[in-house]
Amino acid sequence: MKIAFIGDQPVKVHQNRCNMFRRYIPHSFDFFTHNRKTIRKIAKKYDIIYYASFTLYKKCPIKHPLVYGSATSWKCIYGETAKKDLRLLRKFQKVSANNLGLWKALRAKRPDIKYLPNGVDTNFFTPVEIDFNPNKIEIGWVGNSDREEKKYHSIFLPAKARSGRKIKFHVIATSKSSSARRLRSVKKMRRFYRNLHFFLVTSSCEGTPNPALEAAACGVPLVTT
């Protein structure tokens, strides 16, 4: 079976998930970004079209008898385009949700929705021992600084400004305009987590905070809202 996996930028979470599917599922997966124009032309070569986030369908609508998608954000219920997003669910033959709260909330619209949680490769993201100096505490933050729900400007930056000299912050902040070349590889991300004493999550809501899961798998305690 051939499956076209529609995601966002290469190297980011969606492509990593596609790579995991390739490793553990005995089917053929080809990764495409949602702005890849050729995907519409070759879609008929695939048995299934899978959207890593079902709202990507708005950017890359593909007519196909088997269109699957995943609900990955609470914005499809509480966001500004929630009504349109919920109607969009009808276009999918199969839909999953990546957390139990979202799964329960969407069952009224899609009683057949499946719970398919995100995971972490715990053979890759593993803990290491590091020294802890209370006079030099290393705290990490990862996320898209443009997204309001990440609270980068309203929570993280004010907290950083008040933290004092004993705390050093390590930040990987992307933006909507970040190119794939600017994103770090999974090996560099593992090295980043392993040098932290704490990992900070300031988001008001998350579908699944993948960096938090990766940091936790590396043995880093989480501090969150």
Give the whole-angstrom CA distance, residue 144 versus residue 112.
Answer: 32
- CATH 3.40.50.2000 maps onto the chain at 137-224
At 200 the pLDDT is: 97
Could you tell me if 52 and 12 are in contact, meaning their C-beta atoms sit under 8 angstroms apart? no
Q: Is a pLDDT exceeding 90 seen at residue 183?
A: no
At 159 the pLDDT is: 92
Q: How many other CB atoms are found less than 10 A from the CB of residue 3?
A: 19
Quote the DSSP letter at residue 184.
P
Q: Which of 180, 190, 195 is nearest to 211 (CA)?
A: 190
At 49 the pLDDT is: 96
Token digits for 133? Answer: 């100096």
Q: Is 33 helix (H, G, I), strand (E, B) or coil?
A: strand
Which runs of E-coded beta strand occur in the chain? 2-7, 28-33, 48-51, 67-71, 94-97, 114-115, 137-144, 167-174, 198-201, 222-224
Determine the distance from the C-alpha atom of residue 66 to the mean position of all C-alpha atoms in its chain, rounded to a whole number.
24
Comparing 185 with 4, the larger pLDDT belongs to: 4
Q: Which of 133, 123, 124, 118 is nearest to 212 (CA)?
A: 118
For the chain, the average pLDDT equals 90
At 37 the pLDDT is: 73
At 182 the pLDDT is: 60
Give the whole-angstrom CA distance, residue 3 versus residue 31.
Answer: 9
User: For the segment 193-217, what is each residue's pLDDT rounded down to a tens digit?
Assistant: 999 999 999 998 877 788 999 999 9
Q: How many other CB atoms are found less than 10 A from the CB of residue 221?
A: 10
| Predicted TM-score of the model (pTM) | 0.80
Could you tell me if 176 and 146 are in contact, meaning their C-beta atoms sit under 8 angstroms apart? yes
At 177 the pLDDT is: 64
Confidence grade of residue 36 (pLDDT, cut at 50, 70, 90): confident
CATH topology of domain 137-224: Rossmann fold (3.40.50)
Give the whole-angstrom CA distance, residue 201 versus residue 223.
Answer: 6
Give the whole-angstrom CA distance, residue 49 versus residue 65.
Answer: 9
Could you tell me if 164 and 105 are in contact, meaning their C-beta atoms sit under 8 angstroms apart? no
At 194 the pLDDT is: 98
Write the CB contacts of 188 (distance below 8 Å, at least 6 apart in sequence): none
Give the whole-angstrom CA distance, residue 61 versus residue 40.
Answer: 8
CATH number for the domain running over 2-115: 3.40.50
User: For the segment 42-64, what is each residue's pLDDT rounded down to a tens digit?
Assistant: 888 999 999 999 999 998 899 99
